[in-house]
C-alpha cells in the first residue's frame, strides 16, 4: 500500500476537559498518513484517481476547528473517519499533537496516534 502524508496541519480548537481549554482554545497540530494504491493515478497522471490531499487538509482543519470534544482520542477518531470517507483511502494513521496541554511539569508535546482502516 502506498502512503500520502500530511504533516503539521495546524488549527485552533476548543477541545479538552477543563473550562479554560474550552473557553480560550489552543493550537493543535495533526499529522495524517493515508494508505491507498497510487498506481492508477500515476499510470494516467490523473488527480481523480488518487486522494486530493488539499481537500483532505481542509477537512481535517475543519474537524479541529469544529465541535469541541473532551478527549484528544475522540478528536483523532473524528479525523480518521473524515479521511476514510475518501474513495481509495484504505487506511489512515492520525497523530494529534497537543503542545499546550495543561500539564504542570515541563514537556515538549502530547500526542495521540491511532490507525484505522476500512476493514
Full set of structural domains in the chain with CATH: 2-117 (3.30.1130.10)
CA distance 4 to 52: 10
Given a cut of 90, whether residue 58 has pLDDT beyond it is yes
pLDDT at 119: 74
Task: Classify 25 in phi/psi space as left (phi over 0), alpha (psi -120 to 50) or beta.
Answer: left
What number is the average pLDDT over the span 31-50? 97
What number is the average pLDDT over the span 80-93? 97
Given a cut of 90, whether residue 68 has pLDDT beyond it is yes
What pTM did the predictor assign? 0.96
CA distance 48 to 56: 14
User: Is residue 98 annotated as a catalytic residue, yes or no?
Assistant: yes
Catalytic residue (choose from 10, 49, 85, 98): 98
Amino acid at each position: 500500500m502506498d502512503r500520502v502524508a500530511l504533516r503539521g496541519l495546524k488549527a485552533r480548537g476548543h477541545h479538552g476537559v477543563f473550562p479554560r481549554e474550552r473557553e480560550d482554545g489552543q493550537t493543535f497540530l495533526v499529522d495524517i498518513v493515508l494508505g491507498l494504491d497510487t498506481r492508477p493515478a500515476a499510470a494516467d497522471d490523473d488527480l481523480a484517481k488518487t486522494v486530493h490531499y488539499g481537500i483532505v487538509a481542509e477537512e481535517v482543519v475543519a474537524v479541529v476547528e469544529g465541535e469541541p470534544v473532551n478527549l484528544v482520542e475522540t478528536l483523532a477518531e473524528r479525523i480518521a473517519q473524515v479521511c476514510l470517507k475518501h474513495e481509495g483511502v484504505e487506511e489512515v494513521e492520525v497523530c494529534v499533537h497537543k503542545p499546550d496541554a495543561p500539564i504542570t511539569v515541563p514537556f515538549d508535546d502530547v500526542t495521540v496516534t491511532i490507525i484505522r482502516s476500512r476493514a
